[in-house]
Amino acid sequence: MTLSITHTPVYCTDLDATLAFYTQRLGFEVRQDVPMGPEMRWLTVAAPGDAHELLLAAVDHHIAPADRPSMREIVAKGDLAVFIQVDDLDKTFESLRAAGTEILQEPVDQPYGVRDAAVRDPSGNHLRLSQPLAPRG
């Protein structure tokens, strides 16, 4: 049996602002944007050349009405982190800072082999941006 992960949900409180952030600020491309009724969309983005897609899921359409307030709180707190690897962390980070992105952590070398930083997307999701460190030797 072959297994693979195809989609990871990223819950959004403002779908259009979050879509613009992932495509215009981070360089993701829209893979699918399919209307599903008057209010819901199946909206996926991915890094160019990557098969794994992020499903940008509007809290108000993908979550049961009784659970929406709790999910909005979870998203706003940044409790559902998204991990993204970039090829130039410092350049990406400075570009996001210049665009007014909320900064959670400045770039720092980590003992587990990456340089990473943290920001929030427009919905409040905690993004961990990382770049592998060159091997020591």
Q: Are 130 and 82 in contact (CB under 8 A)?
A: no
The pLDDT tens digits of the residues spanning 89-125 come to 999 999 999 999 999 999 999 999 999 999 999 999 9
The pLDDT tens digits of the residues spanning 44-73 come to 999 999 999 999 999 998 899 999 999 999
This prediction's pTM: 0.90
The pLDDT tens digits of the residues spanning 26-40 come to 999 999 999 988 878
In CATH terms, 7-132 corresponds, of 3.40.50.720, 3.40.50.300, 1.10.287.990, 3.10.180.10, to: 3.10.180.10
Residue 85, C-beta contacts closer than 8 angstroms, at least 6 positions apart? 129, 130, 131, 132
pLDDT of residue 39: 79
Domain boundaries, the chain: 7-132
